[in-house]
Amino acid sequence: MLALTVSAGRWQLQRAADKVVLQGVIDAAASAVPVPVQSLGASAALEALAWRPIEAVGRFDAERVVLLDNRTREGVAGYEVLTPFVLSGSADVLLVNRGWIAAPARRDRLPQIATPDGEVRLIGLATVPSTRFIELRAQTDDTSRWQNWTIDRARARWGLDLLAFAMLQTGETRPVGVVSASAAQGAQAAVVPADGLMRIWPRPDAGIDKHRGYALQWFSFASIALVVWIALAMRRPAEPAAAEGADLIAAADAPADAEPIAPNTAQRDRADVARAS
């Protein structure tokens, strides 16, 4: 038990060390120069793209908009707005999370979302929508509100040739030829642009603290097991050793046909045997 818990704790520490390296890669990628999506194509390695700034030029498909339901910001309920983005000079389509918008007071109403016309330029972070979630049902009240949205679900629903990764938009939507200083940096900032969408994305976390916490739990179990083992090893027998020795002598002196001797009557039985002889 002790060896097992110590081994599990060391394994979790190794996992934490691996995640430290991964977090460094993520942080370095987030500060890199934005990569044009058109130069990546469908064969781009997802591991190398994770949380890297990317740049895309194309047009929004305003006919296909999905609202991710039950998204909150500072305690306010709302939606994240997903829209396919048709890349210029290519048949590829990029799924873009354009940001968050507050929900109307009434559930039967949807927020009014302005979608830019024409060719625009976007700056954001590359990400892959998670496929690990639990949901009672995928779709909510209508065709535009969903609890979760994946690349495969979007392909099946829209029938579009979507890339295997998506974009978390971080800057404003700019017409082609107009570039701002903040957009050029691709920084993650709290931006409320003209379309009314808030773009505040949490810092990518590789989960280092989680594995360190697991390691602490396993080492705590090991400490408890060690204390219990020491306590059991130091525990003394309940019967004195001297009494056990007297019982053995009495049993050796008794006749072969004598009845079993009780441990606490050894001296009396020895006297009876002496008188009988």
What region does 236 belong to: left with phi over 0, alpha with psi -120 to 50, or beta? beta
Please determine, for residue 273, whether its predicted confidence score (pLDDT) is greater than 70: no
**Residue 78 in this model has a pLDDT that exceeds 90:** yes
- pLDDT on residue 184: 43
**Which backbone phi and psi does 214 adopt, to 5 degrees?**
-60, -40
Question: What pLDDT, on the 0 to 100 scale, is given for residue 115?
Answer: 87
Q: What is the pLDDT, as a whole number, of residue 145?
A: 86
Highest mean pLDDT among 36-45, 110-119, 212-221: 110-119
Tokens 């705590």 sit on residue: 220
Residue 181 confidence (pLDDT): 45
Give pLDDT, residue 144. 83
C-alpha closest to that of 119 among 43, 36, 178: 178
Q: How many percent of the chain have pLDDT more than 70?
A: 66
pLDDT digit string, tens, across residues 161-198: 899 899 999 888 887 765 544 444 443 333 335 678 88
**188 and 125 Cβ atoms separated by less than 8 Å:** yes
